[in-house]
């Protein structure tokens, strides 16, 4: 289908973009990469009368590190995440995850901000940001505020982002040097959303887990921070019994839909299997 009629805006600053959103209220939507919003507009699931293209705002791009925190501009593309030396050195799991998103053509245009701000439960970056304990910078008419990724998602396509706000940056604390990481994603074909996926970031010392963070993709209406699973694994040697308990705790918080990717029961079990695989790879990396 063809989207309904809309007025196109291309501001050159965050302030200008916010002013447009304030002026038009619920009738306006910001546009980043467009790979989520445009298909929704074609299906008439979204019908904004004003489209605010953020592509002309230079301040929304870039990757930097300062004081143990990596800041990524919201309009930084997946391709730029993959190519970043900073992320390769400090947060390699981001590159690993970006390489599993869609295909190269989409990654040249799709942005981190668009992936995390839309509230689509099928997107990969939201769960990863929860796993990394990232914070989102939201800018609006009253200034900027920060919201933890773990508190941002409320339901499918519903988030803490107010209609007049723009997600301008993502701030991520750098994990300790030598940490282990993995993002495991089961999908039907290249470019597809996950049937289920799991992100793991952990530290180990003398064979014991010092810290562990776990998050799951596309097995509920929102990304899932599996806090209990991470707590079970922390302090363990990743012995089979402990891993089994952690997997059970992660599976227990899932509530996937039955769809073309499989019945709900299957998708829940696949989330557990992805977690098991991610734990193995993360531990191998942490132990060198």
Q: Write out the E strands in the chain.
A: 7-9, 28-31, 50-53, 63-66, 69-73, 135-140, 143-148, 153-155, 158-159, 166-173, 180-186, 196-205, 208-217, 224-225
Give the residue among 105, 53, 117 at the shortest CA–CA distance from 78. Answer: 105
- Is residue 259 one of the residues assigned to a domain? yes
Task: Give pLDDT tens digits for 4-46.
Answer: 889 999 999 999 999 999 999 889 889 888 777 877 778 787 8
> What is the domain extent for residue 139?
58-172
The edge-to-edge listing of strands for the beta sheet with 7-9 is 7-9, 50-53, 28-31
Domain boundary among 172, 192, 226: 172
Looking at residue 39, what is its pLDDT? 79
Domain boundary residue among 140, 172, 204? 172
- Of 55, 70, 93, the position where a domain reaches its end is 55
Which stretches of 96-150 are assigned E, i.e. beta strand?
135-140, 143-148
Domain shared by 76 and 108, yes or no: yes
| Residues 78 and 99 grouped into a single domain | yes
Q: How high does pLDDT run on average in the chain? A: 95
Per-residue confidence (pLDDT) for residue 131, from 0 to 100: 98
Same domain, 69 and 150: yes
Q: Is residue 194 part of a domain?
A: yes
Number of domains in the chain: 3
Q: Is residue 231 part of a domain?
A: yes
My answer on whether 105 and 162 are in the same domain is yes
> Is the domain of 161 the same as that of 243?
no
Is there a single domain that holds both residue 239 and residue 213?
yes
Which stretches of the chain drop beneath a pLDDT of 50?
A: none
Same domain, 198 and 262: yes
Q: At CA 177, angle to CA 175 and CA 183, rounded to 5?
A: 55
Query: What is the spatial distance between Cα 18 and Cα 141, in angstroms, rounded to a whole number?
Result: 7
- Both 83 and 105 in one domain: the answer is yes
pLDDT tens string 184-209: 999 999 889 999 999 999 999 999 99
Are residues 44 and 116 both part of a single domain?
no
pLDDT at residue 35 in the model: 73
How much is the pLDDT for 204?
97
Residue 204: phi, psi to the nearest 5?
A: -140, 150
Q: What is the CATH number of the domain that holds 158?
A: 3.30.465.10
Q: Are both 154 and 225 inside the same structural domain?
A: no
In this prediction, residue 278 carries a pLDDT of 98
CATH number at 18 reads 3.30.43.10
| 164 & 204 share domain | no
Phi/psi for 142 (5° steps) reads: -100, 10
Together in a domain, 219 and 161: no
Residue 2 lies in a domain: no
pLDDT at 76: 98
Examine residue 1 and state whether it is found in any structural domain, yes or no.
Answer: no
Q: For residue 234, tell me if it sits in a domain.
A: yes
- CATH number of residue 201's parent domain: 3.30.390.50
């Amino acid at each position: 289908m063809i989207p309904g009629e809309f007025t196109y805006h291309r501001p050159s600053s965050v302030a200008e973009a916010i002013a447009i959103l304030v002026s038009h209220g619920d009738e306006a939507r910001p546009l980043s990469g467009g790979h989520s919003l445009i298909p929704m507009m074609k299906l008439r699931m979204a019908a904004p009368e004003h489209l605010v293209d953020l592509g002309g705002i230079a301040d929304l791009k870039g990757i930097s590190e300062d004081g143990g925190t990596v800041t990524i501009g919201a309009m930084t593309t997946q391709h730029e995440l993959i190519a970043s030396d900073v992320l390769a050195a400090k947060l390699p799991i981001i590159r690993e995850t970006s390489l599993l998103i869609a295909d190269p053509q989409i990654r040249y245009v799709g942005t981190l901000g668009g992936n995390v701000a839309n509230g689509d439960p099928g997107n990969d970056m939201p769960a990863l940001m929860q796993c990394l304990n990232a914070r989102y910078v939201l800018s609006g008419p009253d200034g900027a505020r920060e919201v933890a990724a773990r508190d941002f998602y409320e339901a499918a396509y519903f988030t803490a982002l107010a209609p007049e706000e723009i997600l301008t940056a993502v701030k991520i604390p750098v994990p300790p040097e030598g940490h282990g990481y993995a993002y495991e994603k089961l999908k039907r074909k290249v470019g597809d959303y996950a049937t289920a996926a799991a992100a793991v970031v952990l530290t180990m010392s003398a064979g014991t887990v010092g810290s562990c963070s776990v998050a799951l993709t596309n097995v509920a209406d929102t990304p899932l921070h599996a806090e209990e699973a991470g707590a079970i694994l922390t302090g363990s040697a990743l012995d089979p019994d402990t891993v089994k308990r952690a997997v059970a705790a992660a599976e227990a918080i899932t509530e996937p839909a039955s769809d073309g990717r499989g019945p709900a029961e299957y998708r829940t079990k696949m989330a557990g299997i992805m977690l098991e695989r991610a734990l193995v790879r993360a531990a191998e990396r942490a132990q060198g």
